[in-house]
């Protein structure tokens, strides 16, 4: 089934992915493409509308990224946001100048032209979010001012005949209170795109595509038990059944009872072909005496590849390797001039496999954002506990066991992690937190437990809120939850006598300690 599509032309904005997500929230499919896309390429894709993103440059600086002028003659609606407005203005003969001071933060629309469909759903004096240094001084011929603020006369402009619209503010961010209504008006009223893209339709389309591509060939999938690989595996399983074989590698650094949960859910409940490789001893032997974080990651990655490759070689007739690659993974290395990159992040996927395997990649989630993958998992029948699971690093507890990784320390950390997550869930806070984790530190402290003085290790608990993990703020955990967690850890976990809570945001820190 072919769906109406709106392209987001990326000029290097930090919000390009957010724009695409907002369009998809309207029920219309959206893709991010380089700003250098040609009119011919747009015609060939049969695109219904374009959105020009913001960007960090000034349109007046040398080598500033600019769209092909021909896109404005395609006869399809175009919305320019911030830099996109300025690029449209300059391309069509208007004038953009430095405003002398950067306007950053909340503003309000003091004038709204009610005949503009994009503003038909918003209230007078609605709040918008500004972030710009340049301003449109004179608008191109054929355009009218459709919105102003006290400090920005040309806050929004439109050529009604050609359906070309530009806004100086950012409707995609939550600080623009009715921004989603503006995007919805552009998508549904101006573009008149059919809102028929959903997770249900995606499943039907993708199952058909997988069957057509794979046929009766066999597919191998590395199943970690995380959200991405689980959803990818189940979707492919629904398409080709027993022609999919999943390999689940237990590296000894999983959470408490995680191996049993994965085997029961996918092997028994969903009746998948599942190969279980218990390689705990292999990983721990390779990590013996190693304390440097990057060295640990590389060792864990290498041993994983060795184990996965060994198991894969025992399975006959494999033609495809399935990976849980997401859309942000695909476009992560994009640039305004170079466009999206297909380079896959090795810590998310099975990278580094020998080239002589000659498997083709099968990536059924590569068009989806993380929140969409979670929705897809629900549609496919995965349990809520797995679908809503916090991010978990590929090397597992190996990067949360600061210092040397041993079986004893991992078991201690497993118990700490289990208690902390259990208390967060009992308090009803789990889904309010982006990521909660515990680290075991290579530091010992004196304590008093019962009638004894003890000299045991210290652990730290951490919880953060975030939109996309690029930045994160420490979560203001209620004291009673921290008190219960710390008390249980010190009483129930033998190797620990002191509990800390990490209140470092990102930046300057990272979410994980290593």
Given the DSSP bridges, would you call strands 5-10 and 49-52 parallel, antiparallel or unpaired?
Answer: parallel
Question: Which candidate in 57, 117, 132, 172 is catalytic?
Answer: 172
Question: Which candidate in 26, 35, 57, 82 is catalytic?
Answer: 82
Spatial neighbors of 71 by CB under 8 A, at least 6 apart, are 9, 37, 39, 42, 50, 78
82 is catalytic: yes
Distance CA 363, CA 344 (A): 11
Q: Which stretches within 336-445 are classed as H helix?
A: 370-380, 384-387, 407-426
Candidates 254, 290, 224, 250; CA nearest to 411 is 254
123 is catalytic: no
Sign of the alpha-carbon torsion through 466, 376, 17, 221: positive
Angle at 227 between CA 275 and CA 254, to 5 degrees: 60
HEC assignment per residue over 192-230 = CCCCCCCHHHHHHHHHHHHHHHHCCCEEEEECCCCHHHH
269 is catalytic: no
Query: Do the Cβ atoms of 105 and 146 come closer than 8 Å?
Result: no
Question: Which candidate in 170, 206, 282, 311 is catalytic?
Answer: 170
Tokens of residue 261, six digits: 């949960």
Q: What are phi and psi of 131, to 5 degrees?
A: -160, 85
CA-to-CA separations, 83 to 68, 183, 344, in angstroms, rounded: 15, 17, 29
Active site residues: 82, 170, 172
């Amino acid at each position: 089934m072919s769906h109406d599509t709106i392209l987001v032309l990326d000029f290097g904005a930090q919000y390009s992915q957010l724009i695409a997500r907002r369009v998809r929230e309207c029920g219309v499919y959206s893709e991010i493409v380089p700003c250098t896309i040609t009119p011919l390429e747009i015609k060939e894709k049969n695109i219904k509308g374009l959105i020009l993103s913001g960007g960090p440059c000034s349109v007046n600086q040398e080598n500033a990224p600019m769209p092909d002028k021909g896109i404005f003659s395609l006869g399809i609606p175009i919305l320019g946001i911030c830099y996109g407005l300025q690029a449209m203005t300059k391309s069509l003969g208007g004038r953009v100048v430095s405003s002398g001071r950067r306007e950053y933060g909340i503003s309000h629309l003091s004038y709204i032209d009610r005949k503009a469909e994009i503003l038909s759903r918003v209230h007078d004096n609605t709040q918008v979010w500004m972030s710009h240094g340049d301003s449109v001084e004179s608008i191109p011929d054929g355009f009218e001012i459709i919105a102003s603020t006290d400090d920005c006369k040309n806050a929004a402009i439109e050529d009604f005949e050609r359906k070309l619209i530009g806004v100086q503010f950012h409707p995609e961010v939550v600080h623009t209170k009715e921004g989603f209504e503006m995007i919805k008006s552009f998508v549904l009223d101006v573009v008149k795109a059919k809102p028929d893209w959903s997770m249900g339709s995606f499943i039907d389309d993708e199952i058909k595509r997988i069957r057509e591509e794979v046929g009766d060939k066999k597919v191998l999938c590395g199943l970690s038990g995380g959200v991405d690989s689980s959803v990818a595996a189940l979707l492919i399983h629904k398409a080709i059944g027993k022609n999919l074989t999943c390999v689940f590698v237990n590296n000894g650094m999983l959470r408490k009872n995680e191996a049993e949960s994965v085997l029961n859910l996918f092997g028994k409940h969903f009746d998948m072909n599942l190969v279980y490789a218990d390689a705990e001893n292999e990983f721990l032997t390779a990590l013996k005496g190693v304390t440097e974080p990057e060295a640990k990651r590389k060792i864990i990655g290498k041993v994983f590849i060795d184990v996965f490759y060994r198991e894969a070689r025992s399975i006959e007739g494999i033609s495809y390797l399935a990976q849980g690659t997401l859309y942000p993974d695909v476009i992560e290395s994009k640039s305004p001039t170079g466009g999206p990159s297909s380079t896959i992040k090795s810590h998310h996927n099975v990278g580094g496999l020998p080239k002589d395997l000659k498997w083709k990649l099968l990536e059924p989630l590569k068009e989806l954002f993380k929140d969409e993958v979670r929705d897809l998992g629900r549609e496919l029948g995965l349990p809520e506990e797995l679908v809503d699971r916090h991010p978990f690093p590929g090397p597992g507890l190996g990067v949360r066991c600061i210092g040397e990784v041993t079986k004893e320390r991992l078991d201690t950390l497993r118990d700490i992690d289990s208690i902390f997550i259990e208390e967060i869930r009992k308090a009803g806070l789990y889904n309010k937190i982006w990521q909660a984790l515990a680290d075991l530190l290579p530091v010992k402290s004196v304590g008093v437990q019962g009638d004894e003085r003890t000299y045991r290790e210290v652990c730290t608990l951490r919880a953060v809120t975030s939109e996309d993990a690029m930045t994160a703020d420490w979560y203001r955990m209620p004291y009673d939850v921290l008190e219960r967690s710390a008390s249980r850890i010190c009483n129930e976990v033998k190797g620990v006598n002191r509990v800390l809570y990490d209140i470092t945001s990102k930046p300057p820190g990272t979410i994980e300690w290593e």
